Copies of this chain bind each other. A is one copy, B any other.
Amino acid sequence: MIGRLNHVAIAVPDAAAASMLYRDALGVTVSAPIALPEHGVHVVFVELPNTRIELIEPLGENSPIAKFLGQHPQGALHHLCFEVGDIAAARDQLQRAGTRVLGEGEPKIGAHGKPVVFLNPKDCAGILIELEQA
């Protein structure tokens, strides 16, 4: 059902500082930090040949990643995002398999402007998984 690993999202306290690791030490193309106030994050896109890393830094007092980062002050994996062809069909299949979808289960528009759902990490070996309609 799922397709490509769309991105690996890493929560960091300072996206500009973390981007220097990827740009200067690891030699990868990175974007400038981009503010996404409606999602409560700054994001830096790290472009790899086969996928992308997104370095996300809290933006604003109500950022959804602020508490997470408080628990992981150096930074940590926030979620993995996989592509699906039909988000509603994917959600239905998962729920039939007993995998819980966070929230009300209705897809929302994610940071890429596409419908997404998030799966309960308790059903996913501790990993927060995002599904995005590609």
Contact = CB atoms under 8 A, between A and B. Distances in A.
26 contacts: A1-B26, A1-B27, A2-B27, A2-B28, A4-B49, A4-B50, A5-B8, A5-B48, A5-B51, A8-B8, A10-B125, A10-B126, A21-B124, A25-B93, A25-B94, A25-B97, A25-B99, A25-B123, A26-B94, A27-B93, A72-B126, A74-B121, A74-B122, A75-B126, A75-B127, A76-B126
A75 B125 contact: yes
A77 interface: yes
Q: Would you list the 4 A-B pairs with minimal beta carbon distance, nearest first?
A: A1-B27, A75-B126, A74-B126, A75-B125
Given A3-B48, A21-B99, A75-B125, 8 more contacts: A4-B49, A5-B51, A21-B123, A26-B94, A27-B93, A48-B82, A55-B125, A77-B77
Contact of A51 (B51, B75, B125): B51
Contacts of A74: 121-122, 125-126
